[in-house]
């Protein structure tokens, strides 16, 4: 049984703070930030129920949320692993060996790009340029950028995440205090 | 007022008129084709790029040509503007490109498509398309989704004109469908299968330029060119009640809005008129409806057939006379 | 060492913080602008400076500002484009991460010049951690009275907030960015109207790149004429270059425009030469959208003159033999690089990032990717090169926004300069893995 789709009071206060940035009646502007919060809060993905909940919070039609959530690549519309290893594969990362990084990860975790490991810990994703070409090859996990990857470094990163065992979100690092 | 010249023909139009509207006022063969623009839908147009034209002179004040081809449906005229449509090889080539793009992932299932015969994409392909495709990859597929009892959706046929989304936004009070995902994976969907139930939702069928949204009550009943369009009306509390009936014998097979010569609905009609009033006794018949389109319907339309017969007979008579 | 404007204090310990930033002359332009200058005067200075948009298009900033409509009683907005997503570009991230206050200072000063009560940084979602750095900096600025009501005791009040995107290259296009900021899909708007007339919430809006706005404090402090003296010709000032690929020292460099490309690639001050002593094969000089050039054309123009790092010199020769400065995303490829495979990564990128609104881009980008995919997989067909050429030609110029052009240009330039390599792939798929012989094919 999944937990109830509802923000706690603290998060509601945060959502209201975000809405206040925009002029009266323009609360839809808060959609992207609120979807990030919702995704972080509800198991790393946006279920139809979560999206309907966000729609009700912002007083917009559910389809407006579906339209937006399905447009942006950072929102997951299906369940994902706790750590999504997003490996950049565009030009500079490719020319500095991102294909080897992906192959190594696939072998190490026994899954293909787009799949989630059986223990639900890792999902491998290949992504387009993350603006870290100077640190190529690189991967992102949650809010963290891991740059200048080597296969050894990669092994360490994966092991550290495994030991930590926590879900990683883009919104990590004292999200609530700084927004 | 602004004077604009399109392919050598000039017209004075009110300020704010678009090039496409001006071309339609002039009429004739030089009107750019339009797939996503719809005169009754605000902010429609600009997406499909079939109506692109060349502005060879910007205006009297600033005669510089526009650097790129522009969508005529979203570009307003300026006084002294000169536009090339059919007279520009560049425009015709770019349009052929657009048509090719629109067709590469289209299933070309016209033989089983209810829209065949009144399909804007068919017309467009007929006039601007190539005989053979250069696209040799599998065509895009989507999972079928059920959007309710009245409307059948075939996403593979969609050209993403946004007309149905704008219709739902502008004439119904609760849009439940929209454009989801992005790029060539974009699809019209309700995301969670949800019936589109609204008194005016049926108008989405009429605005769809292709067979992506068709009338379930008319599904596979008849080819449109075997049906007889009649203007008819009834007293309706929800809409004007002015419709086009599509009859076969004495049977009403389909009810649609009345469309103008550009295939765009003149007035919205309600779902009751469209889906529930299929008895000829429900309607006051005004008379045969003139279909002024160069689509398959009109190609074999009796008016044309009679006209063609007349020409053929005249030719033969002339040949006989000449022989003598 | 060339003149540094943006990165002058980058290595000062603690420069991220407001205190250290102020000790190094930070926020002086806010003081000067708000207390001694009229808004129009600042716009004039920016015009005089010759500063051009640093996001890629290179449009004169002062002119963009002067287009801003100013109807009575209507809000105006400044929106900073920090959506930096052009492959090869990472300079804005570096700047915001290392010295966030320079952007805030530029925003306050620029907003005063534009009469904007609110400004916003729209930052790409993947840079979430940078958004926190900016938010912390904004908090410091509020606490110091540099933001909020009556800044530094003047009548000018201003608020800044950070909006985080969620993964969409297209939101770097200014109208798509505004749509996204309004909580919608990042679909570019059909123009006109331009944002200067109807932008965010239909209000007049200026959208500027991070680096552009961060250059404003220097101009306010030293005057537009002084700024215009830096650089060469119409390429005034300094430019941040993101250098990546097969070089010894990838990173962000601030260059005075006008240094030679050769110097930039080979000198120790910048890229430090090609990795592992290999030979240079090609460069994409301004982000993935700009034409790729083979070594001899990036180092020297067709006329044989040394190619310079400037808007004009890089575009010398047009697309036939030149390229563009673009966003300054400088990607270097050594002799072992497969140009076709590299192009495939670009084509895949543009296919992935097309918003899907208009047909040439939606359908064409996918088609090009599929053809390139079969070529690199060794299943290319005779005629594929010509087909690719024709498809890109039919996309270019026929789309709502510049993404269509951006997708077309890399394909066109790769074929223009490396056609033999495409044919090699198609005719001899069995040799694909051996890149060595490809070196001799460079036209």
- DSSP for B144-194, please give it: -----SSEEE-GGG-----HHHHHHHHHSS----EEES-GGG-EEE-SS--
Exposure of B247 in the CB half-sphere (CA atoms within 13 A):
19
Q: How far does A98 lie from chain B, in Å, by closest CA?
A: 25
Q: Out of B59-63, B128-132, B167-171, C370-374, which region has the weakest mean confidence (pLDDT)?
A: B128-132
Q: Which pLDDT belongs to residue C433?
A: 67
A21–C161 C-beta distance less than 8 A = yes
> Tell me: the pLDDT tens digits for C176-188?
999 999 999 999 9
> What's the CATH architecture for A9-71?
Orthogonal Bundle (1.10)
In the numeric block, the tokens 């105006």 are attached to C76
Q: What is the mean pLDDT of residues B87-113?
A: 96
Quote the pTM value.
Answer: 0.95
CA of C355: which chain B residue's CA is closest? B183
Residue C422 CA to residue C419 CA, distance in Å, equals: 5
Q: How far does B18 lie from chain A, in Å, by closest CA?
A: 30
Q: What is the mean pLDDT of residues C216-229?
A: 98
Interface probe for B, chosen from C353, C355, C363 (most Cβ of B below 10 Å), is C363
CA distances C310 to B203, C92, C230, C256, C281, Å, are: 55, 19, 12, 9, 21
Q: Are C259 and C309 in contact (CB under 8 A)?
A: yes
Residue B33 CA to residue C39 CA, distance in Å, equals: 48
CA distances B321 to A142, B313, B324, C200, Å, are: 88, 12, 5, 74
Q: What is the mean pLDDT of residues C74-98?
A: 97
Q: Is residue C442 over pLDDT 50?
A: no
> Tell me: the pLDDT tens digits for B121-141?
999 998 899 989 999 999 999
C342–A33 C-beta distance less than 8 A = no
Phi, psi of B177 (to 5 degrees): -120, 165
Q: Which pLDDT belongs to residue C432?
A: 75
Q: What is the mean pLDDT of residues C340-350?
A: 97
Paired residues of A116 in beta bridges: A123
What is the interface size between B and C, counted as CB pairs within 8 Å? 85
Q: Are B234 and B278 in contact (CB under 8 A)?
A: no
Q: How far does B182 lie from chain C, in Å, by closest CA?
A: 5
Instruction: Report the number of secondary-structure helices (H) and strands (E) in chain C.
Output: 19, 11
> Tell me: the pLDDT tens digits for C388-400?
999 999 999 999 9
The answer to whether C409 contacts chain A (CB < 8 Å) is no
Residue C386 CA to residue C130 CA, distance in Å, equals: 44
Q: Which of C351, C393, C398 sits opposite B52 (nearest CB)?
A: C398
- Complex-level ipTM: 0.95
Q: What is the overall mean pLDDT for chain C?
A: 96
Q: What is the mean pLDDT of residues C225-245?
A: 97
Q: What is the mean pLDDT of residues C43-50?
A: 98
In the numeric block, the tokens 């430090």 are attached to C272
Q: What fold is seen in the domain A83-164?
A: Glutaredoxin (3.40.30)
Q: Where are the domains of chain A?
A: 9-71, 83-164
Q: Which pLDDT belongs to residue B305?
A: 65
Q: Which pLDDT belongs to residue A1?
A: 42
The answer to whether A82 contacts chain C (CB < 8 Å) is no
Buried b (16+ CB within 10 A) or exposed e, A43-80: bbebbeebbbbbbebbebbbbbbbbbbbbbbbbbbeeb
The dihedral through the CA atoms of C274, C275, C279, C282 has a sign that is negative
């Amino acid at each position: 049984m999944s937990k109830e789709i509802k923000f706690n009071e603290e998060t509601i206060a945060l959502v209201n703070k975000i809405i206040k940035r925009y002029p009266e009646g323009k609360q839809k502007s808060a959609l992207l930030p609120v979807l990030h919060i919702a995704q972080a809060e509800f198991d790393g993905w946006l279920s139809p129920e979560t999206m309907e909940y966000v729609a009700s919070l912002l007083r917009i039609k559910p389809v407006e949320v579906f339209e937006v959530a399905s447009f942006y690549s950072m929102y997951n519309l299906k369940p994902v692993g706790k750590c999504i290893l997003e490996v950049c594969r565009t030009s500079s990362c490719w020319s500095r060996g991102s294909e080897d990084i992906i192959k190594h990860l696939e072998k190490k975790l026994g899954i293909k790009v787009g799949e989630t490991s059986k223990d639900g810990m890792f999902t491998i994703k290949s992504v387009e340029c993350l603006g870290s070409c100077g640190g190529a090859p690189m991967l992102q996990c949650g809010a963290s950028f891991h740059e200048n990857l080597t296969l050894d470094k990669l092994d360490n990163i994966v092991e550290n995440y495994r030991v930590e065992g926590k879900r990683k979100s883009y919104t990590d690092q004292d999200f609530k205090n700084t927004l | 007022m602004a004077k604009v010249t399109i392919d050598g023909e000039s017209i004075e139009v009110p300020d704010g008129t678009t090039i496409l509207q001006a071309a339609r006022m002039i009429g004739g063969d030089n009107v750019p084709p339009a797939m996503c623009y719809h005169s009754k839908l605000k902010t429609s147009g600009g997406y499909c790029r079939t109506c692109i034209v060349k502005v060879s002179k910007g205006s009297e004040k600033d005669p510089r040509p526009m650097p790129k081809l522009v969508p005529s449906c979203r570009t307003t005229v300026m006084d002294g503007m000169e536009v090339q449509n059919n007279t520009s090889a560049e425009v015709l080539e770019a349009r052929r490109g657009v048509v090719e793009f629109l067709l590469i992932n289209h299933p070309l299932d016209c033989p089983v498509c209810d829209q065949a015969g009144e399909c804007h994409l068919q017309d467009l392909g007929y006039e601007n398309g190539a005989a053979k495709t250069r696209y040799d990859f599998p065509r895009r597929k989507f999972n079928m989704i059920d959007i309710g009892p009245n409307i059948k959706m075939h996403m593979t046929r969609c050209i993403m004109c946004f007309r149905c989304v704008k219709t739902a936004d502008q004439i119904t009070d609760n849009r439940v469908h929209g454009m989801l995902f992005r790029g060539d994976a974009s699809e019209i969907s309700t995301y969670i299968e949800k019936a589109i139930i609204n008194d005016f939702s049926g108008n989405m069928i009429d605005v769809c330029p292709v067979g992506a949204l068709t009338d379930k009550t008319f599904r596979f009943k008849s080819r449109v060119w075997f049906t007889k369009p009649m203007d008819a009306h009834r007293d309706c509390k929800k809409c004007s009640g002015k419709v086009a009936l599509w009859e076969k014998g004495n049977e009403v097979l389909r009810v649609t809005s009345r469309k103008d010569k550009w295939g765009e609905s003149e007035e919205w009609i309600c779902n009751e008129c469209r889906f529930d009033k299929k008895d000829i006794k429900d309607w006051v018949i005004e008379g045969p409806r003139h279909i002024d389109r160069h689509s398959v319907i009109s190609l074999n339309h009796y008016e044309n057939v009679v006209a063609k017969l007349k020409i053929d007979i005249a030719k033969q008579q002339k040949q006989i006379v000449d022989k003598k | 060492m060339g003149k540094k404007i943006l990165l002058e204090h980058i290595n000062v310990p603690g420069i991220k913080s407001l205190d250290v930033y102020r000790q190094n002359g930070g926020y002086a332009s806010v003081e000067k602008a708000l207390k001694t200058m009229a808004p129009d005067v600042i716009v004039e200075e920016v015009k005089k400076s010759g500063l051009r948009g640093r996001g890629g298009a290179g449009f004169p900033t002062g002119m963009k500002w002067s287009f801003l409509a100013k109807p009575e009683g209507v809000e105006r907005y400044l929106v900073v484009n920090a959506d930096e997503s052009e492959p090869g570009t990472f300079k804005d991230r570096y700047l915001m991460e290392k010295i966030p206050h320079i952007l805030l200072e530029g925003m306050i000063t620029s907003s005063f010049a534009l009469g904007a009560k609110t400004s916003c940084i729209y930052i790409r979602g993947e840079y979430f951690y940078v958004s926190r750095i900016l938010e912390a900096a904004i908090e410091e600025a509020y606490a110091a009275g540099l933001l909020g009501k009556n800044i530094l005791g003047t009548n000018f009040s201003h608020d800044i907030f950070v909006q985080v995107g969620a993964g969409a290259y297209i939101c770097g296009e200014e109208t798509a960015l505004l749509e996204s900021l309004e909580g919608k899909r990042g679909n570019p708007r059909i123009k006109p109207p331009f944002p200067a007339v109807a932008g965010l919430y239909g209000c007049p809006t200026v959208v500027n790149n991070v680096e552009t706005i961060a250059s404003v404090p220097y101009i306010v402090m030293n005057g537009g004429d002084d700024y215009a003296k830096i650089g060469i010709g119409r390429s005034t000032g300094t430019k941040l270059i993101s250098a990546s690929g097969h070089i010894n020292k990838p990173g962000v460099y601030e260059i005075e425009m006008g240094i030679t490309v050769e110097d930039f690639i080979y000198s120790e001050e910048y890229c430090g030469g090609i990795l592992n002593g290999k030979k240079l094969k090609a460069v994409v000089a301004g982000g993935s959208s700009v034409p790729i050039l083979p070594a001899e054309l990036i180092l020297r123009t067709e006329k044989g003159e040394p190619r310079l790092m400037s808007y004009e010199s890089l575009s010398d020769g047009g697309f036939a033999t030149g390229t563009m400065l673009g966003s300054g995303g400088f990607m270097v490829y050594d002799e072992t690089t497969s140009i076709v495979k590299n192009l495939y990564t670009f084509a895949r990128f543009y296919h992935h990032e097309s918003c899907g609104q208009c047909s040439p881009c939606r359908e064409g980008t996918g088609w090009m990717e599929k053809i390139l995919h079969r070529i690199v997989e060794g299943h290319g067909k005779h005629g594929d090169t010509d087909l690719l050429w024709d498809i890109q030609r039919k996309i270019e110029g026929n789309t709502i926004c510049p993404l269509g052009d951006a997708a077309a240009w890399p394909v066109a330039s790769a074929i223009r300069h490396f056609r033999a390599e495409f044919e090699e792939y198609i005719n001899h798929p069995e040799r694909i893995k051996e890149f060595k012989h490809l070196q001799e094919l460079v036209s």
